[in-house]
Each structure stands twice: as structure tokens, then as C-alpha cells.
Amino acid sequence: MKRLLNCFSIISLSILALCPLLSLAAGPDVHKDKLVGHWTFEKGEELKDLTGNFPDIKLMGAEIVKGALDVDAGKWAITVGDYKGPDIKEKTLMSWFSFQNNAVIKGSILCIDKISGDHFDSIVYAERQPNQWMAGSSFFRRTDDFKPGHKDTTKGEKFMMAITYKGDKTATVKGYRNGKNISGKGYEKGPMVTWEKDDAEAIWGKRHGSVGGGPGDLDGLIYESRIYGVALTEEEIKGLKEGSLSVESHDKLTTKWSIIKSY
């Protein structure tokens, strides 16, 4: 009887331990280990990349307002210093954002740029088409119009935008708004670029640039930004929520496995 109870306990605890693994397949912690940049703009960490890979943000007229980065015409932000994380090639750029004035255009809610030269990818608003989001890139190398796309004319509505880049040599680019694919099958265009240690910076507000400035602006609030070193799927993006990353899931899973192993 004792042996039967032990077997039942092991099976039950095994199922309990595996449940988080199943939920992580498309849950808030999906590919958490692939995060290479993460900014929440919350009190105490307003200018910090929570992964520790990017240096602190320098506010170039932008402000931190109640846990959000407030960008406006001529007011933007950039990381200044050396990037210390892994190489970034396949990736997902993601930000939660709300417009204050959508007449301010051609800027980005997140850009990754090289310090050494003009090589960038960014989430850009209304550069080529009115009210449409697009994948901004240097000389439009990885830029095309999303089909069907999404016209954003809202003010005050918080939403999430994400763009994924996948491929070895040629980029396959897809766009998502609140987890919904707005790019169909996406498009293939342009060479994949690798951002390496000491040669990557993140920018908000401007389409791209440097500490000296750059083109484009936006007027709105950026609540959270993430850069993943992997092209997330639509299902994975749908499972992500602002401020939802767990800091204890790994410890809980370890504890459950240690209980199982003790039998």
C-alpha cells in the first residue's frame, strides 16, 4: 500500500511540475531566457535594462511619467554606453504604447541601432503610409508595407506592437498588434543584420539616430519595451502581457522537481 501511495504521489507531483512547462509554451514567461533587453520604466528602475545587457537610458527631452516613458516631438531617449549581451540577429522588437497625438509621425516606439554605422530596425509609425505601422530599417532594406496592415487613429488606448525578424541570410518580417498578425504571411526582404557586443543601442521616439539626434518623432507613452533574441510566433506573442514576466517561476519549478526526486 505504501509503495502504491508513493507511486501515486510521484505521478501527481510530476503532473504538477509539468503544468508550468506546458503553460510556458505560450505564456507570459515564454522565451524569458532569450530576453536581451527589457525596460519597464517603473520607479527605481526607470532607466534600467532589467537584463543588464544595455547601459542606462539617457533622456533627450523625454520624461518618465508614472511608470511610462513620455516621448514627444523633439523629445526622445537612447541608451548610452556599451551593450554587453549576446549577438542579436533573429529577434522580436516589442513595446506597449498609447498615443497622445498621432499627428506626430515617422518615429519609433523601439529601435535597435548600431553605434558604428547606419544599421537599424525599428517599430515605426506612419513613415510610408498614413496611420500605418511598419518595420523601419536603414535605406528600407528590410521594410515593406504590412498587408493588410492596421490603421491606428486611436488616442489614449494602450496596445502592444511587435515585429519579428527571422532567417539566416534574408529576413522574413512579420508585424503584430495586440498579438494579432497584421502582416499575413509576412514578407521576405533584405539581409539579416547582427548587432554585436559593444555595438548596439536602443532608441525610443526617434526612428533611428545617435545621441546627436535622428529623424522622425512620436507623441505618446511607452509603458514597457522588450527585445527578444528570437522571432516569437503569433501564439507566443498573444500570451505576453505587459508587466507579466515572472521572477519566481524557475524557483518554483526547481522546488517541485526536488520534491519528486526525494521519493
pLDDT digits (tens, 9 = 90+) for 88-105: 999 999 999 999 999 999
- pLDDT beyond 50 at 251: no
* Tens digits of residue pLDDT in 192-202: 999 999 999 99
- The winner for highest mean pLDDT among 2-6, 29-33, 236-240 is 236-240
Candidates 253, 248, 179, 244; CA nearest to 28 is: 244
Say which residues have a Cβ less than 8 Å from residue 196's Cβ, sequence separation at least 6.
Answer: 87
d(CA 111, CA 122): 4
What pLDDT score was predicted for residue 26? 58
97 close to 224: Cβ distance less than 8 angstroms: no
For 75, the grid coordinates are: 523629445
Report the predicted TM-score, pTM, of the whole model to 2 decimal places.
Answer: 0.84
* Tens digits of residue pLDDT in 38-73: 999 999 999 999 999 999 999 999 999 999 999 999
Work out the average pLDDT over 26-33. Answer: 78
Amino acid occupying residue 19: C
Q: Where are the domains positioned within the chain?
A: 1-29+246-263, 30-245
How many CA within 13 A on the CB side of residue 255?
6
- CATH topology (fold) of 30-245: Jelly Rolls (2.60.120)
Candidates 194, 224, 177; CA nearest to 37 is: 224
Bigger pLDDT: 8 or 86?
Answer: 86
- pLDDT beyond 80 at 238: yes
85 close to 99: Cβ distance less than 8 angstroms: no
**260 — pLDDT class (breaks 50, 70, 90):** very low
73 close to 214: Cβ distance less than 8 angstroms: no
- pLDDT beyond 60 at 168: yes
d(CA 120, CA 141): 10
For 104, the grid coordinates are: 506626430
d(CA 207, CA 247): 32
Lowest mean pLDDT among 41-45, 53-57, 153-157, 247-251: 247-251
Work out the average pLDDT over 159-177. Answer: 99
What pLDDT score was predicted for residue 13? 40
pLDDT above 70: percentage of residues in the chain: 83
What pLDDT score was predicted for residue 31? 87
What pLDDT score was predicted for residue 263? 31
- Which helix (H) or strand (E) segment is 238 a member of? helix 234-238
Say which residues have a Cβ less than 8 Å from residue 129's Cβ, sequence separation at least 6.
Answer: 145, 149
Identify the residue whose cell numbers are 526536488. 258
What pLDDT score was predicted for residue 30? 81
Identify the residue whose cell numbers are 513620455. 70
Average pLDDT, the chain: 87
**Positive/negative CA dihedral, 208, 211, 215, 219:** positive
